[in-house]
Chain A
Amino acid sequence: MKYESQGIAKMYFIAAIGLFVGQILFGVTLGLQYVMGDFLFPAIPFNVARMVHTNLLIVWLLFGFMGSAYYLVPEESERELYAPWLAKLMFWVFLAAGVLTILGYLLVPYATLAEMTMNHLLPTMGREFLEQPTITKIGIVIVVLAFLFNIGMTILTGKKTVITLVLITGLIGLAVFFLFAFYVPDNLVLDKYFWWFVVHLWVEGVWELIMASLLAYVLIKVTGVDREVIEKWLYIIIAMALISGLLGTGHHFFWIGTPDYWQWVGSIFSALEPIPFFMMTLFAFNVVNKRRRDHPNKAAVLWALGTAVMAFLGAGVWGFLHTLAPVNYYTHGTQITAAHGHMAFYGAYVMVVLTMISYSMPIMRGQKAANERAQVLEMWSFWLMTVSMVFITLFLTGAGVLQVYLQRYSETPLPFMVVQDKIEIFYWLREVAGLVFLIGLLLYVYSFFAKGKEVEDIGAAVTS
C-alpha cells in the first residue's frame, strides 16, 4: 500500500462481504419459499425476503464500489485521500442506514414502515429495487455526495489518469440517475418509463464504466502491461457501452404503454449491448496473455478473468436471449428474466468487486498476496460460487422456457399458479444450487482466516 488512506477500503470491503452473506441467506430463503409456499409465512412473506435480498445486494455492491474507489484513487492520483475522516464517517452513516432499513423491513409490516418514515410527504416506496424508505434514499444521496466530493477532490488535486476519470464519470452517473428514484408520478406509464432511468441506466450504462475501470486497474497491477494499451481498450469498451446501452433502454419500453417505435430502437440497440461485454473478455485475456510478470496473487487474476467471462455470459448472452421484441413478447417478466438477472449481476458486478477485494485485501493486510492455502481456498470458493451460479441460471432458464410455453405459447394456456406447480422440479434444483453457492461463499469468508505458507514474492522486483 503506497498511501495510508487507501486502507480505509478495508472496512468498506468487510461490510460488503458481511452484507453479501446476508443477501445469500435470504436468497436461499426465497428459493425455499418458491417450493414450500408457507415457509416462514406470515412472519416473513416472500416480498419482504425479496426486498431484503435485492436491497442487500445493491447496498453491498455500493460498499464495494466505494471501497474500491477509496483504494484505487489515492494510488492513481499519487496523493493521500482528500478527507480520510469523511470517508470513515460516511462508512458508519451508510452502514447504520443500511442496517436500520433492513431491520425495518423485517420487524414491521412494510405499510407500517411507510407510515413510520412519513412516506406520504414524498412517496418513493414500493417500487422494485427502490423499496427503501424516502429517508434512507436521502441518506444514500448524502453519503454518495460526500463520497464523490472526497474522491473528486483527490482526483482534482492529484494526478489524473484515464482510469480515475472513467471511474469518477461512472460514479457521478450513478448518483445522477439515482435521483430518478425520487420521481414517482401517479401515471403508471410515466412511472415505469423513468424507473428504468435508475435501473437500466445503472447496470447497462454508468456501472459498466465503473466495472471497466476497476478491471483495467487490477489488470495493470497484476500483469504490468503498458498503460497506453489498457487505456485504449478502456475507452473503446466504454464507448460501446454507452453507444449501445443508452438507447438500449428501449428494450424495457416494449409493453408498458409507450410508442411502438421502441420495439425497433430497443431491439436494435440492445442487441449491440453484448459488444462491450465481449470486448471486456477479449481485453482481459489479451492483457493477461501479454503479461510482463507473474503476480503472486493468482486468485486475483482468476477473479479478473472470471468477471470478464461471466459478465459476457450473463449480460451479453443471457441478455441477448430475450432482448429482441418478438422474443421478449413471450419472455417478458418470466423466470427467463430472473435467470438473466442473476447471472448478469453476479458475473459483472459481484465478481468485479470480489476481484478488487481479492487484489487489494492482502496488500492492506501487509502482504503482496495471501498465503498459498488461503489462495487455494479462495479459488475453490470462486469455482463453487461461479459454477453454482451457472446452474442457478440454467435451472431458471429451464423453468422459464416451460413457463413461457405452458402459460403463453401453447394452444391452451394454463393459469400462472398451475404452471408454477408443473415446473416445481426446476425450483428444487435451483435451491440445491443455491445451497452450494452459500457453501462457496462461506468458504470464501473462511479463506481470509486460513493460515499457510507465505507466497514467494516473485513480483517484488517490479514494484508498481
Chain B
Amino acid sequence: MRETFTKGMARNIYYGGAVFFFLVLIGLTVDTVKSIPKTDNRENLSEQVVAGKYLWEVNDCIGCHTLLGEGAYFAPELGNVYTRFGKSTDAIKGFIKSRPKTGIPGRRSMPQFNFTDEELEQIAQFLKYVDGIKIARDWPPNVQG
C-alpha cells in the first residue's frame, strides 16, 4: 500500500466505519421492529400458536425442515405447508400422526413423535400462523416451497 495511506488513516476508517454502520444497523432495527406489525401476523399469535412454537422447538423440527427458508435442507419447507395441504390443519395433523415408528425402508422418513391430540392441534395452528406471515414477493416462488 502507498506511503501516503498511513496506518493512522486505516485505523480511523475502521473506527469510524464500524461505529457509523453499527448505528445505522441499530436505526434500521428500530424501524423494522416498528413496521413488522403490518406483516408478522401477530393478531393470530394465540396461546395455542405459542404452545405450538414451543413444540416446534423442543422437537427440533428445524433440524430437518426449513421454515421460511431457514433450517435444514433434508425435508420440505414448512412455512407454506398449510397452503400446500389445501389450507387444512386436519391434513397437517393427519400427516404428523401417521408417521411409521420404524421409518420407511430405504427412504427418508419423519420420526413418530407420539403427540397428543392437543399438541397436534397446537403444531398445526403454529404452521397456519406462519403461513399467514406476509413475505416480500410472496416467497416461496411456488407452492412446492
A-to-B contact residues, CB < 8 Å: 33-34, 36-38, 41-42, 45-48, 50-51, 110-111, 114-115, 119-120, 123, 125-128, 131, 184, 186-190, 192-193, 228-229, 231-233, 235-236, 238-239, 242-243, 246-247, 249-250, 252-263, 265, 329-330, 332-335, 337-338, 407-409, 413-417, 420
Contact flag A242-B76 (CB < 8 Å), given A188-B133, A247-B25, A258-B36: no
In B59-101, which residues have CB < 8 Å from any A CB? Answer: 59-64, 66-77, 101
Alpha-carbon gap, A48 to B7, bound state (A): 48
Alpha-carbon gap, A246 to B6, bound state (A): 25
Closest to B100 in A: A42
A37 contacts B10, CB within 8 Å? no
Contact flag A125-B136 (CB < 8 Å), given A232-B5, A257-B36: no
Contact flag A256-B68 (CB < 8 Å), given A187-B40, A233-B1, A415-B144: yes
Closest to B113 in A: A111
The minimal Cβ–Cβ distance linking B40 to chain A, given in whole angstroms, is: 4
A257 contacts B56, CB within 8 Å? no
Contact flag A42-B101 (CB < 8 Å), given A47-B72, A255-B68, A259-B32: yes
A110 contacts B21, CB within 8 Å? no
B28 contacts A265, CB within 8 Å? yes
The minimal Cβ–Cβ distance linking B7 to chain A, given in whole angstroms, is: 4
A189 contacts B39, CB within 8 Å? yes
Contact of B63 among A37, A48, A115, A246 (CB under 8 A): A48
A110 contacts B35, CB within 8 Å? no
In B1-49, which residues have CB < 8 Å from any A CB? Answer: 1, 5-7, 10-11, 13-14, 17-18, 21-22, 24-25, 28-29, 31-33, 35-36, 39-42, 45, 49
Alpha-carbon gap, A125 to B36, bound state (A): 24
The minimal Cβ–Cβ distance linking B43 to chain A, given in whole angstroms, is: 11
Interface residue tally of chain B, by bracket? 35 or more
Contact of A243 among B17, B28, B108 (CB under 8 A): B17
B145 contacts A416, CB within 8 Å? yes
Closest to B10 in A: A235
The minimal Cβ–Cβ distance linking B104 to chain A, given in whole angstroms, is: 7
A46 contacts B72, CB within 8 Å? yes
The binding surface of chain A is classed by DSSP as: helix
Alpha-carbon gap, A250 to B18, bound state (A): 16
In the complex, which residues of chain B have a beta carbon less than 8 angstroms from the beta carbon of A236? Answer: 1, 10, 13-14
B7 contacts A329, CB within 8 Å? no
The minimal Cβ–Cβ distance linking B69 to chain A, given in whole angstroms, is: 3
The minimal Cβ–Cβ distance linking B15 to chain A, given in whole angstroms, is: 8
A38 contacts B109, CB within 8 Å? yes
A414 contacts B144, CB within 8 Å? yes
In the complex, which residues of chain B have a beta carbon less than 8 angstroms from the beta carbon of A123? Answer: 54, 57-58
21 sample A-B contacts, Cβ–Cβ < 8 Å, listed by A number: A37-B104, A38-B108, A45-B111, A46-B75, A120-B54, A186-B50, A188-B53, A188-B133, A233-B1, A243-B21, A247-B21, A255-B69, A255-B136, A256-B70, A256-B133, A257-B135, A265-B28, A329-B141, A338-B73, A407-B145, A416-B145
Closest to A195 in B: B70
In the complex, which residues of chain A have a beta carbon less than 8 angstroms from the beta carbon of B36? Answer: 189-190, 257-259
B39 contacts A41, CB within 8 Å? no
